[in-house]
C-alpha cells in the first residue's frame, strides 16, 4: 500500500516497467515505419505495450497517499483496464494468425473457446477493479479491511491468470495442428519445406511454453504478493515474471514482416491452395 512519502516515479519498479513499455511502443512504430503498413499482428504487441505503460503509471498514481481519493479511484479503474489490455492482449497474437487460415468446424471451436476464455478474463479483471475502487473510496487503512481486500483480490487473480495461459496454449495447439497437417500433406504431395515447417513448429512450442509459464507462475505467486516479511521473495519473483511479461512483445517483433509466425500462416495458405489446384488438375 501507499506510504506517506512516495519516491519519484522513475525511481520505482513501476517506472522501470513503464520505460520497458515505452521502448516496445517505439520499436513497434519503427517496425511499422520500415514496413510501411500496420497489420493486426503488429498492433498486438504495440497495444499491449501501451497497456503496460499506462497501467504502471496509473498504478503509481492510484496507490499514492498524496492525491485526492476520488482521483486515485479513477486512476485505479483505468490502471486495471490497462493491465487487462496488456495481459489478455498477448494471446491475440496467435488469434490474428489463426483466424485467416482456420475454416469450418475448427474455426467455430477455436473462436468459441477463445472468446469464452476472454469473457472469464474480463469478468475477473472487472471484479478486481471494482474491489480496488471500493477499497480506495472507503479510505480505511485498517489491517482488517486490508486483509479482506487482499484475500478477495488474490483469489480473483488466481482465477485470472490461468485463462490467459490457456488462451495462448489454445492458439498454439491449433497452429501446431495446422503445421503438422500441412507438413504431412506437403510430403505426400511432393512439396518442399519440411525442415522449415519443423522449425516453425519448434518456434511455436517455445513461444507458447514461455508465455504459459509466465501465466501459470503469476497465478501462483500473485496470491503471495502482500506477504509480510523483510525480503518478500515471492513478491520479487512475481514482479520478475511481470517484467518478463512486459518484455514479451519484443519476441513478437522479431524479423517482422518476415517473422516466423507470419511466414507460417502464409506458407500454410499457399500450400493448401497448391494442393487444391493439384487435386483439380488431377481430376
Start-to-end CA distance of the chain, whole Å, equals 72
DSSP H/E element including 206: helix 194-221
| Mean model confidence pLDDT for the chain | 79
d(CA 132, CA 80): 9
**What pLDDT, on a 0 to 100 scale, did the predictor assign at position 1?**
45
**What pLDDT, on a 0 to 100 scale, did the predictor assign at position 257?**
47
d(CA 88, CA 59): 18
C-alpha cell at 22: 515505452
**What pLDDT, on a 0 to 100 scale, did the predictor assign at position 141?**
78
pLDDT at 122 over 90: yes
pLDDT of 150-209, one tens digit each? 888 888 888 888 898 888 888 888 887 877 776 666 555 554 555 666 666 666 667 767
Cα–Cα nearest to 100, from 37, 205, 203, 178 = 178
pLDDT at 69 over 70: yes
**What pLDDT, on a 0 to 100 scale, did the predictor assign at position 58?**
93
What is the residue-wise DSSP string for 226-272? T--SSS-HHHHHHHHHHHHHHHTHHHHHTTTTS-HHHHHHHHHHHHH
Label residue 2 by pLDDT band (50, 70, 90).
very low
Amino acid at each position: 500500500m501507499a506510504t506517506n512519502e512516495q519516491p519519484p516515479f522513475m525511481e520505482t519498479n513501476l517506472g522501470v516497467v513503464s520505460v520497458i513499455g515505452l521502448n516496445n511502443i517505439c520499436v513497434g512504430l519503427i517496425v511499422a515505419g520500415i514496413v510501411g503498413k500496420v497489420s493486426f499482428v503488429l498492433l498486438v504487441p504495440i497495444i499491449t505495450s501501451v497497456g503496460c505503460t499506462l497501467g504502471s503509471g496509473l498504478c503509481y498514481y492510484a496507490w499514492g497517499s498524496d492525491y485526492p481519493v476520488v482521483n486515485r479511484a479513477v486512476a485505479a479503474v483505468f490502471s486495471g483496464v490497462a493491465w487487462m489490455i496488456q495481459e489478455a492482449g498477448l494471446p491475440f497474437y496467435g488469434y490474428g494468425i489463426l483466424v485467416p487460415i482456420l475454416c469450418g468446424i475448427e474455426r467455430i471451436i477455436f473462436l468459441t473457446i477463445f472468446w469464452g476464455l476472454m469473457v472469464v478474463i474480463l469478468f475477473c479483471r472487472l471484479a478486481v477493479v471494482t474491489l480496488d475502487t471500493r477499497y480506495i473510496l472507503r479510505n480505511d487503512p485498517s489491517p482488517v479491511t486490508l486483509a479482506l481486500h487482499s484475500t478477495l483480490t488474490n483469489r480473483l487473480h488466481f482465477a485470472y491468470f490461468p485463462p490467459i495461459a490457456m488462451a495462448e496454449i489454445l492458439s498454439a495447439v491449433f497452429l501446431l495442428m495446422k503445421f503438422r497437417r500441412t507438413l504431412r500433406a506437403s510430403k505426400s504431395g511432393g512439396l518442399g519445406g519440411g525442415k522449415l515447417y519443423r522449425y516453425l513448429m519448434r518456434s511455436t512450442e517455445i513461444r507458447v511454453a514461455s508465455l504459459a509459464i509466465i501465466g501459470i507462475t503469476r497465478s501462483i505467486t500473485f496470491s503471495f504478493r502482500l506477504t509480510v516479511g523483510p525480503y518478500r521473495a515471492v513478491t520479487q519473483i512475481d514482479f520478475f515474471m511481470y517484467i518478463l511479461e512486459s518484455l514479451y512483445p519484443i519476441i513478437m517483433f522479431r524479423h517482422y514482416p518476415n517473422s516466423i509466425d507470419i511466414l507460417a500462416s502464409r506458407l500454410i495458405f499457399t500450400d493448401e491452395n497448391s494442393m487444391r489446384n493439384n487435386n483439380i488438375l488431377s481430376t
